Amino acid sequence: MTVNAAAAHHLQLTRDGQLRHFLTLDGLGRALLTDILDTADSFIEVGERSIKKVPLLRGRTVANLFFEPSTRTRSTFELAAKRLSADVLNLDINTSATSKGESLSDTLLNLEAMASDMFVVRHAQSGAAHFIAESVTPGVAIINAGDGRHAHPTQAMLDMLTIRQNKGTFEGLKVAIVGDILHSRVARSQIRALNELGAEQVRVIAPGTLLPRDVESLGCTVEYDMAKGMKDLDVVIMLRLQKERMEGALLPSEREFYRLYGLSQEKLALAHPECIVMHPGPINRGVEIESAVADGPQSVILSQVTNGIAIRMAVMSMAMGGQVAERQQKRSTLKGDQS
């Protein structure tokens, strides 16, 4: 019996296929992903002006709801919202409301009373952004800024923008993602985006303990040996390794991990000479990547940060646009019914 398998994907699109929330890359086609990248390109141009601000979200309120602390991601969302002329409300909820026993639903009701138009949500549980999108009043756009191990769609899209800037196209690209795939919402979103945008090969390089079950079903091949995995690569994406992984018997030590899966200059030399190096940050130098590589000529890590602001401006304005267009349509249908 099919209950609701398709529902999740329709949650974030309007009836005519515009974005109204941005929760996951699942269910978004190549055309829409390309629209996001193109729109972000226009926002990059805005960032080069003397006044780096456009009036799109003037008079609207964006609330950053961070149930899990992340100063960096929150700052780029904040900057993006401000460059769209929105009013921004920053709420770090992990310490305040929920620890006093207030339920997430209650917290949301309170925030809606503050007349927010958009929630940017970061939460430690997979599916939190979906839950919020299903619970809020219609008209409020939800942007997923990372939920548990599920998805981090803006991070993946800024990575795609960085790849497109450097490689021009996704056709024929060989891309590897290295490190803790199991716990990574970023990797899940990247694999999905690379597949949808037409990359030729997506490889994941990690030890067996850091791979999810049936990882190939996500659209990638598995390589345990990094030296083999680096061959002919156009793009290598390193993931951050959390220190807690040593405790759960997932890895023996940072040293062994670095030796086997850290990106050193020697290992990078095995890839295509024009291979670019990416990392979603913050970097653990000497744990997953050698400093000389992170700061080296093939690294595009800093442009990822700039692109992050443009991607977030694109996604926020598109989702808000989808919401207002939908509301307008409903209003005119109502009028039509009356006459």
Partner 1 sequence: MSVLLEVGQLMDKLETGLQHLLAERNIEAPLVIGIRTGGVWVADILGRRLGIEEPFGELDISFYRDDFSRIGLNPKVTPSNLPFDTEGRDIILVDDVIMSGRTIRAAMNELFDYGRPASIILAALVDLDARELPIRPDVAGQSLTLKAGQRLKLRGPDPLRLEYQETEQ
Partner 2 sequence: MSGHQVFSGSSLKITGGRLLDGRGKDESNRALLIRNSRIAATGEAAEKADADQVFDARGCIIAPGFVDLYCNLREPGNGQKGNMRTEARAAARGGFTTVCESPETSPVNDSRAVTHLIREGAEAGSPVRVLPIGALTRGLEGEMLSDMGGLTAAGCIAVGNGSRSVRSARVLRRCMAYAQTFGLTVMLRPENQSLAADGYAHDGLVASRLGLLGIPEVAETASVMEMLLLAEETGVRLHLSQLSCGRSVEMVADARRRGVAVTADVAMHQLIFTEDALAGFDSRFHLRPPLRSEADRKALVAGVREGVIDAIVSQHLPHESAAKQAPLPDTAPGLSSIESVLSLGLELVHRDELSLSELIRSLTTGPASVIGRNASAGQDDKADLCVFDPATRWTPDSQSLISAGKHAPVLGQPLRGVVRLTLVDGQEAWASH
Within residues 120-139, the interface with partner 2 by CB under 8 A covers: 123, 125-128, 130-131, 135
The DSSP-derived string for 275-286 is -EEE--S---BT
* 128 vs 285: CA distance, rounded Å: 31
CA separation (Å) from 96 to 67, 69, 115, 142, 173? 10, 12, 20, 21, 45
Which token pair is 200?
């030729």
Answer positive or negative: Cα dihedral of 139, 143, 148, 150.
Answer: positive
Q: Report the nearest approach of partner 1 to the CB of residue 117 (Å).
A: 10
CB atoms within 10 A of CB 270: 15
The DSSP output letter for 202 is E
Q: Judged by CB under 8 A, which stretch of 3-11, 12-20, 282-290, 303-311 contacts partner 2?
A: 3-11
Q: Which does 50 bind (CB under 5 to 8 A by kind): partner 2, partner 1, none?
A: partner 1
Q: Which does 325 bind (CB under 5 to 8 A by kind): partner 2, partner 1, none?
A: partner 1
Q: Which does 320 bind (CB under 5 to 8 A by kind): partner 1, partner 2, none?
A: partner 1
Size, binding site for partner 1 by CB under 8 A: 25
Within residues 5-34, the interface with partner 1 by CB under 8 A covers: 18
User: What angle (nearest 5°) sits at the alpha carbon of residue 308, between those of residues 264 and 63?
Assistant: 135
Q: If binding is defined by CB under 8 A, does position 46 make contact with partner 1?
A: yes
Q: If binding is defined by CB under 8 A, does position 143 make contact with partner 1?
A: no
Q: Which of 265, 257, 262 is nearest to 285 (CA)?
A: 262
Within residues 220-239, the interface with partner 2 by CB under 8 A covers: none
Q: Which of 288, 212, 217 is nearest to 250 (CA)?
A: 212
Nearer to partner 1, 20 or 245 (CB): 20
Q: Which does 70 bind (CB under 5 to 8 A by kind): partner 1, partner 2, none?
A: none
Q: Which does 100 bind (CB under 5 to 8 A by kind): partner 2, partner 1, none?
A: none
Contact residues for partner 1, defined by CB under 8 A: 18, 35, 38-39, 41-42, 44-46, 49-51, 53-56, 317-318, 320-325, 328
